[in-house]
Amino acid sequence: MQLSLYQVDAFTDRTFGGNPAAVVPLLDHTLSDDMLQYIAEENNLSETAFLSSTRSPSVFDLRWFTPAAEVDLCGHATLAAAFVVFNHLRPDIEQVHFNTRSGSLIVTRTSSGMMMDFPATEPQAIAPNAVVSHGLGCDPVEVLRGFDHIAILENAAQVRALSPDFNELKKLDSRGVVATAVEGDGFVSRCFFPKLNVNEDPVTGSAHCQLAPLWSKRLNKTRVIGEQLSSRGGRVICEVEQDRVKLFGQAVEYLRGTITI
């Protein structure tokens, strides 16, 4: 069996920027969950997205796997999957619907890139967490919990300077920790998920489903810009509308290949 594979840099307008994801269109093929995990492990990227066809040409089933496990939501791999749909699988459509473990996700082509419509998660304040503090090497100003632990730091410089203890962060009962701080009229972040074999994720769309509602409320703005301060870097433009978050980003194709099983 041979399968197409695309590697796409998401949340960037240049190759070698943003966050790389693999996209594997299964179309009419059916693979076991173990085989999907083997492929994701072999790709050794933070996420591999698998697309399956449905009866509608604009609707696909979408699943995301890290090298270690399947996850419920991944923004950059969704953006990469939409890029493959728009540029290779269905170039005639302007909007694609993905059926996922997090519900229906919609991606639309716009003049400035692609817009993803995701469910918002509003983090809740929790008590100080010793694992977060020891893992980050500092005491956050505040700790919140969404589907990740979120550590609000004093300023962007502190976020940039972090050198986490990844073994300590593996002890968390969440996916990982997102460190963030306000900067100007937007915010910065870094995302650490060592439990998923992703010590630092370059650009994390799913994290912005938590960060956008948080900073939108605190900055009193419906549109906020997030800068992720990984070595590759990336920018995510966020708009909050009630219980939804719209994330805007671009993507660039890095390679096309063939998987032989």
Confidence of residue 112 (pLDDT cuts 50, 70, 90): confident
Mean pLDDT of the chain: 95
Q: What is the per-residue pLDDT across 159-201, written as a single tens digit (0 to 9) for each?
A: 999 999 999 999 999 999 999 999 999 999 999 999 988 899 9
Query: What integer pLDDT is reported at residue 198 of this predicted model?
Result: 87
Contacts 24+ apart (CB under 8 A), 188-191: 188/156, 188/159, 188/160, 188/226, 188/227, 188/228, 188/229, 189/159, 189/226, 189/227, 189/228, 189/229, 190/159, 190/160, 190/162, 190/228, 190/229, 190/230, 191/148, 191/228, 191/230
Average pLDDT for 111-123:
90
Mean pLDDT for 234-253 is 93
The pLDDT of residue 196 is 85
Could you tell me the CA-to-CA distances from 145 to 53, 87, 126 in Å, in that order? Answer: 35, 37, 7
The domain locations on the chain are 2-111+249-260, 124-241
* Same fold across 2-111+249-260 and 124-241: yes
Q: What digits encode the pLDDT tens for the residues 38-68? A: 999 999 998 999 999 999 999 999 999 999 8
**pLDDT above 90 covers what percent of the chain?**
90
pLDDT score for 233: 87
Architecture, CATH, for domain 2-111+249-260: Roll (3.10)
Given this structure, which CATH class describes domain 124-241?
A: alpha beta
Q: What is the pLDDT of residue 197?
A: 84
Per-residue pLDDT at 243: 92
Q: Which of 42, 47, 70, 94 is catalytic?
A: 47
Confidence category of residue 227, pLDDT binned at 50, 70, 90: very high
The predicted pLDDT at position 113 comes to 87
Nearest to 253 by CA among 86, 94, 45, 83: 83
123: CB partners within 8 A, 6+ apart: 144, 145, 146, 150, 210, 213, 214
| 122 part of the active site | no
